[in-house]
Amino acid sequence: MAEKLNDRSALDPLLAQGWELVDGRDAICKTYVFANFIAAFGWMTRAAIWAEKLGHHPEWSNVYKTVDVTLTTHDCGGVSDLDIKLAQKMDALAE
């Protein structure tokens, strides 16, 4: 079972990569903008396969070439190491 982060400084590298803390809840978010819809949806497909592999799933929405992502761990009611793992993977897939 995932646990809320003890060491919040673990978030610092993500905050330096465009992730932000969500107002009013323990979650992180990022907006990705791709070249076009196919690039955005292709990335979502790859990220979805990794989310399933990690057993950890994003809150996200897509409009044309933009994907808004929010990560939090529902099981523990806050950000956990699984959110960090998924965020790192999403960034790597977007490179």
Q: Which residues bind ligand H2B (CB under 6 A)?
A: 55-57, 73-75
Pull the structure tokens for residue 79.
């950000």
Please give the C-alpha separations between residue 95 and each of 1, 4, 6, 57, 72, in angstroms, as whole numbers.
30, 28, 29, 20, 22
Q: Which is nearer to ligand H2B, 24 or 55 (CB)?
A: 55
| Distance of closest approach, residue 77 Cβ to ligand H2B, in angstroms | 9
Q: Which is nearer to ligand H2B, 40 or 69 (CB)?
A: 69
Q: Which is nearer to ligand H2B, 30 or 56 (CB)?
A: 56
Q: CB nearest ligand H2B: which residue? A: 75
| Distance of closest approach, residue 70 Cβ to ligand H2B, in angstroms | 9
Which H helix or E strand runs over 37? helix 37-54
CA–CA dist 29, 53 (Å, integer): 21
